[in-house]
């Protein structure tokens, strides 16, 4: 709607986890390094947490892009709210395996067979669970037991748990699982300097060749959003729309304040 007015080729602040628009803050770089270390060193389990909208999901997508299909057999679960049996079936489904049995023992045997097959092919079995704070407590026991699959010299499965801050407390409350977490990291929001870089990068990726957000406008963005990327996207998108509607030459602090009032 406002693309031509601002000289954009794409909408720069879409609220979708698009790796093309990823801004690698210090926090995101560190989180990615730790996830990669966890799988390359077969640490068993890793935990990535962060506030809602801080970029956990897009970081997990980039992480998956950076691990080779030749070296890793990957399953990703984005809705883990399942009872134990259904949870095991979902894991097998994501690995492309038969999950029609209603016997827990059968399902675990199928999964174990896949992991042993991967060992023979020198591949790492990788399971990524997003929104892991939604896993029912009774199902967390199955998650813990998955980490019991190992040979004398290596773990058969690497588990990545991704979720909101409360996931840290949930895991701490399950001592046997907590002790298996080899790598942990918590994503914090962006600081004011990073917010300016984040906005600039997304505009550039969308085709803009000039800076249209004033420094005062960016201060307003930071103060309102507290550096949370999803909130930044929503506010900047509305600011561009309002600036277009008022035929502004650039986005100043007044346009941003108008956008904040409109969103409220």
Domains of the chain (ranges; CATH) run 3-13+190-263 (1.10.8.60), 26-187 (3.40.50.300)
Q: What is the pLDDT of residue 215?
A: 97
Confidence of residue 22 (pLDDT cuts 50, 70, 90): very high
Q: Could you give the angle at the alpha carbon of 259 between the alpha carbons of 253 and 264, nearest 5°?
A: 130
Nearest alpha carbon to residue 52 among 168, 212, 189: 189
Supply the pTM of this predicted model.
0.93
Arithmetic mean of pLDDT, 238-263 = 97
Q: What is the pLDDT of residue 69?
A: 81
Residue 211: is its pLDDT beyond 90?
no
Q: Check: CB of residue 183 under 8 Å from CB of residue 49.
A: no
Q: Check: CB of residue 51 under 8 Å from CB of residue 165.
A: yes
Q: What is the pLDDT of residue 68?
A: 81
Question: Which tokens belong to 95?
Answer: 């690995």
- pLDDT tens string 114-163: 999 999 999 999 999 999 999 999 999 999 999 998 887 788 999 999 99
Rounded CA separation 211/40 (Å): 40
- pLDDT tens string 88-97: 999 999 999 9
Task: Note the maximum CA span of the chain.
Answer: 68
Confidence of residue 185 (pLDDT cuts 50, 70, 90): very high
Looking at the chain, the whole-number percentage of residues with pLDDT higher than 90 is 92
Range list of H helices, 19-55:
26-40
Looking at the chain, the whole-number percentage of residues with pLDDT higher than 70 is 100
Mean pLDDT rounded to a whole number for the chain? 95
């Amino acid at each position: 709607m406002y693309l031509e007015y601002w000289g954009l080729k794409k909408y720069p602040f879409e609220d979708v986890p698009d790796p093309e628009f990823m801004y690698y803050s210090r926090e995101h770089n560190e989180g990615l390094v730790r996830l990669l270390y966890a799988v390359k060193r077969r640490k068993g389990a890793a935990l990535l947490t962060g506030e809602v909208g801080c970029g956990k999901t897009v970081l997990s997508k980039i992480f998956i892009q950076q691990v080779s299909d030749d070296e890793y057999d990957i399953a990703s679960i984005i809705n883990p709210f399942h009872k134990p049996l259904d949870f095991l079936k979902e894991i097998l489904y994501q690995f492309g395996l038969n999950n029609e049995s209603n016997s827990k023992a059968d399902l675990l045997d199928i999964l174990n067979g896949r992991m042993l097959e991967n060992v023979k092919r020198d591949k790492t079995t990788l399971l990524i669970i997003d929104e892991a704070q939604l896993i029912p407590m009774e199902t967390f026991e199955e998650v813990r037991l998955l980490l019991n699959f190992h040979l004398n010299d290596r773990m058969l499965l690497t588990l990545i748990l991704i979720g909101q801050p409360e996931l840290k407390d949930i895991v701490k409350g399950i001592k046997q699982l907590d002790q298996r977490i080899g790598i942990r990291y918590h994503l914090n929001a962006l600081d004011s300097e990073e917010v300016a870089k984040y906005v600039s990068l997304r505009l550039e990726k969308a085709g803009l060749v000039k800076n249209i957000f004033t420094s005062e406008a960016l201060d307003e963005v930071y103060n309102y959003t507290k550096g949370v990327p999803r909130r930044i996207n929503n506010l900047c998108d509305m600011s561009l729309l309002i600036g277009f509607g008022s035929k502004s030459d650039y986005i100043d602090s007044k346009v941003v304040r108008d956008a904040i009032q409109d969103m409220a």
